[in-house]
Amino acid sequence: MRETIAAIATGPVQGAIGIVRVSGPDAIIVLDQVFRPDHGSSMAEKPSSRLIYGSLLAKDGAVIDKCLACVMRAPHSYTGENMAEIQCHGSQAILSAVLTALFAHGVVQAEPGEFTRRAFVNGKMDLSGAEAVHDLVTAQTAQAAENAAAQLEGAVGGKIVEIRQKIVDLVSEFLAVVDYPDEEIDSVLFENACEILHNATRDLYRLAESYEYGRILREGVPCTILGRPNAGKSSLLNALAGVERAIVTDIPGTTRDVIEETIRIGAVVLRMYDTAGLRDTSDPVEKIGIDRAMKQASSAHLILAVFDSSDDISDEDLMVIARTHGKRAIAVINKSDLPSAINMQSIRRHFQHVVAVSAKNGDGLKELYELIPKVVGMDGAVYDGGIITNARQAAALARAAERCEAAFCAAESGMTPDAVVMDAEGAIAALGEITGQSVTDDIISNIFEKFCVGK
Which stretch, 8-16, 78-86, 197-205, 225-233, contacts ligand GDP (CB under 6 A)? 225-233
Residues 378-397 that bind ligand GDP (CB under 6 A): none
Which stretch, 138-146, 170-178, 210-218, 243-251, contacts ligand GDP (CB under 6 A)? 243-251
* DSSP-derived pairing of the beta strands 52-57 and 35-37: antiparallel
CB neighbour burial string for 293-310, b if at least 16 within 10 angstroms, e if fewer: bbebbeebbbbbbbbbbb
Which stretch, 224-232, 324-332, 346-354, 411-419, contacts ligand GDP (CB under 6 A)? 224-232
* DSSP-derived pairing of the beta strands 83-90 and 63-72: antiparallel
Q: Looking at 209, 219, 260, 337, which residue binds ligand GDP (CB under 6 A)?
A: 337
The amino acid sitting at 149 is: A
Do 79 and 119 touch, CB atoms closer than 8 A? yes
User: Smallest gap, in angstroms, from Cβ of residue 171 to ligand GDP?
Assistant: 60
359 binds ligand GDP (CB under 6 A): yes
d(CA 215, CA 390): 7
Which stretch, 103-111, 123-131, 265-273, 358-366, contacts ligand GDP (CB under 6 A)? 358-366
Do 78 and 110 touch, CB atoms closer than 8 A? no
Do 357 and 308 touch, CB atoms closer than 8 A? no
Peptide bond into 75 cis (omega under 30): yes
User: Smallest gap, in angstroms, from Cβ of residue 357 to ligand GDP?
Assistant: 7
User: Smallest gap, in angstroms, from Cβ of residue 228 to ligand GDP?
Assistant: 7
List all residues 6 or more positions away from 67 whose beta carbon is below 8 Å from its beta carbon: 53, 54, 56, 86, 87, 88, 89
Nearer to ligand GDP, 60 or 280 (CB): 280
Q: Looking at 358, 390, 393, 435, which residue binds ligand GDP (CB under 6 A)?
A: 358
d(CA 39, CA 41): 7
User: Smallest gap, in angstroms, from Cβ of residue 301 to ligand GDP?
Assistant: 21
User: Smallest gap, in angstroms, from Cβ of residue 225 to ligand GDP?
Assistant: 8
d(CA 126, CA 387): 16
Nearer to ligand GDP, 87 or 314 (CB): 314
Enter the DSSP assignment of 44: G
Nearer to ligand GDP, 96 or 249 (CB): 249
Do 411 and 197 touch, CB atoms closer than 8 A? yes
230 binds ligand GDP (CB under 6 A): yes
292 binds ligand GDP (CB under 6 A): no
User: Smallest gap, in angstroms, from Cβ of residue 9 to ligand GDP?
Assistant: 43
Q: What is the torsion angle, in degrees rounded to the nearest 10, for the CA atoms of residue 160, residue 162, residue 168 and residue 171? A: -100
256 binds ligand GDP (CB under 6 A): no
Q: Looking at 24, 113, 214, 232, which residue binds ligand GDP (CB under 6 A)?
A: 232
Q: Is the dihedral of CA 367, 370, 373, 375 positive or negative?
A: negative
| Phi, psi (degrees; rounded to nearest 5) at 333 | -90, 100
Q: Looking at 64, 152, 216, 248, which residue binds ligand GDP (CB under 6 A)?
A: 248
Nearer to ligand GDP, 56 or 237 (CB): 237
Do 35 and 55 touch, CB atoms closer than 8 A? yes
255 binds ligand GDP (CB under 6 A): yes
The amino acid sitting at 442 is: D
54 binds ligand GDP (CB under 6 A): no
265 binds ligand GDP (CB under 6 A): no
Q: Looking at 142, 338, 341, 381, which residue binds ligand GDP (CB under 6 A)?
A: 338
Peptide bond into 112 cis (omega under 30): no
Contact positions toward ligand GDP, by CB under 6 A?
Answer: 227, 229-235, 248-250, 254-255, 277, 334-335, 337-338, 358-360
